[in-house]
Amino acid sequence: MADAENYGPRLEKSTYAMVAVSLFFMLLRFGCKARYGKRFGLDDLLLAISWVLLGVYAGVIIAAMKHGLGRHMASLPHESIVMAHKLMATADFFIIISIAISKSSFAVTLLRLALEPWHKILVWGVIVTVNLFMWLSAIFIFCSCAPIESIWDDDLPGTCWDARMLLNFNIFTGGWSAAMDFVLALFPWFLIWRLNMQKMEKIGVCIAMSLGILSGVTATIKTTYIEQSAERDDWTWLSLDLLIWSGAEIAVVITAASIPFLRLALREVANSSSSRGGGPGSRALQLGYISNYKSGAGGTRDQTTVVGGADAGTGANKQSDNRSDESILSQANDGGINKTQTVIVEYYHHESGSRGDVESQRSSREHVTFSRD
């Protein structure tokens, strides 16, 4: 029977768009970090790996479309169905691993904000469980039947695991992935909202760091298509929505993880405009860093910087920031040698009439400081 319907072009356009958009934002993230002297870390490496896997997924999906993916099975020869199924299983493996790695990247970024033990336990719990369930789901693709060729060729005799059990596990994994996106999106609000800074700055930073909630929405939608794609009678047609939303989940994670770093460039533009207007110098929060130390040589001098957009020139603001630091870092400066931990997100400092500079610190750097009784 001739098949006039072909879902392939829609899948192809969606796949190219997701790869291109996510690459664009990831390169902007890397460009901002390079411009403002930020060290590239493990989270950047993981994000790049996840994008590479998304690219591999896209390439395999495009190849599967040449064998009939996107059309009804009734219009395809058996050889094309077998090859399309084999390629789609391979694509599923890469996209599932990419999902796990991309969400791990964002979680690693959030670990830099983890000041209390329960913060670290929460974030590490997300990393471990998402990777555990996702990797198992990916591995099960190729070990659920023996011989392995019977996975994509229904005409071959073989022994397979219970299909309903595998389907339920995949639905659970998709739901768990979505739930962890919402957890990671809410995490910055618990930490940043306690800081001594202007309310609008808090809201701006929290929103920028909580865009991962869009990934949770995308993952939820994707999960609703898992059961539909398991229909063996016409999976070459029915799997397309799942494939599109799976790629979209990765693209959204990469984009959402990159946007917070773009605040650096936006703040530079805004502060440059302010300086040209003759206004006073400004301190603008990007993602912020928290730093608190005392130094003394013949006297004691306090120097405190806290996440926030307030001017640091007044004693009142310094005292307020210092109290905020002490409540966040739970530090007591009662003499002797103290160690304080600097937790970085980003802090851009621009002085009026100058080209500006960036105060760049390393995350989790310990400062040995001295204070007097």
pLDDT at 318 > cutoff 60: no
- % of residues, the chain, pLDDT over 90: 37
Which residue do the tokens 């989270």 mark? 43
Neighbours of 16 (CB within 10 A): 12
Q: Give me the pLDDT at residue 177, please.
A: 93
pLDDT at 242 > cutoff 70: yes
Q: Give me the pLDDT at residue 276, please.
A: 57
Q: Give me the pLDDT at residue 366, please.
A: 38
Express each pLDDT in 44-59 by its tens digit: 999 999 999 999 999 9
pLDDT at 319 > cutoff 90: no
Confidence of residue 275 (pLDDT cuts 50, 70, 90): low
> Residue 309: helix, strand or coil by DSSP?
coil
More confident residue, 276 or 359: 276
Q: What is the mean pLDDT of the chain?
A: 74
User: What is the average pLDDT across 303-325?
Assistant: 37
HSE-up (13 A, CA, CB side) for residue 93 = 12
Confidence of residue 211 (pLDDT cuts 50, 70, 90): confident
Structure tokens at 254: 């990469």
Express each pLDDT in 63-80 by its tens digit: 999 998 888 888 889 999
Express each pLDDT in 194-207 by its tens digit: 766 777 777 877 78
Confidence of residue 36 (pLDDT cuts 50, 70, 90): confident
Q: Give me the pLDDT at residue 354, please.
A: 39
Q: Give me the pLDDT at residue 232, please.
A: 72
121-126's contacts with Cβ under 8 Å and 24+ in sequence apart are: 122/183, 122/187, 123/184, 123/187, 126/180, 126/183, 126/184
Domain spans in the chain, listed from the N-terminal domain onward: 8-269, 280-371
Burial bucket for residue 302 (CB in 10 Å: 0-12, 13-18, 19+): middle
Q: With beta carbons less than 8 A apart as the criterion, state whether 253 and 215 touch.
A: yes
Indicate the residue type of 80: S
Q: With beta carbons less than 8 A apart as the criterion, state whether 366 and 337 touch.
A: no
Express each pLDDT in 160-184 by its tens digit: 899 899 999 999 999 999 999 999 8
> Topology of 8-269 in CATH?
Rhopdopsin 7-helix transmembrane proteins (1.20.1070)
Confidence of residue 274 (pLDDT cuts 50, 70, 90): low
User: What is the average pLDDT across 271-280?
Assistant: 55
Structure tokens at 371: 């204070």
Q: Residue 47: what are its φ and ψ, rounded to 5°?
A: -65, -40
Q: Give me the pLDDT at residue 115, please.
A: 77
pLDDT at 193 > cutoff 90: no
Give the span between the Cα atoms of 261 and 308, in whole angstroms: 16
Q: Give me the pLDDT at residue 277, please.
A: 52
User: What is the average pLDDT across 284-294?
Assistant: 36
More confident residue, 316 or 267: 267
Structure tokens at 111: 């670990």
pTM beyond 0.85: no
Confidence of residue 23 (pLDDT cuts 50, 70, 90): very high
Express each pLDDT in 109-137 by its tens digit: 888 877 788 889 999 999 999 999 999 99
Give the residue among 87, 83, 287 at the shortest CA–CA distance from 201. Answer: 287
In 210-239, which ranges are continuous DSSP H helix?
A: 213-224, 226-229, 235-238
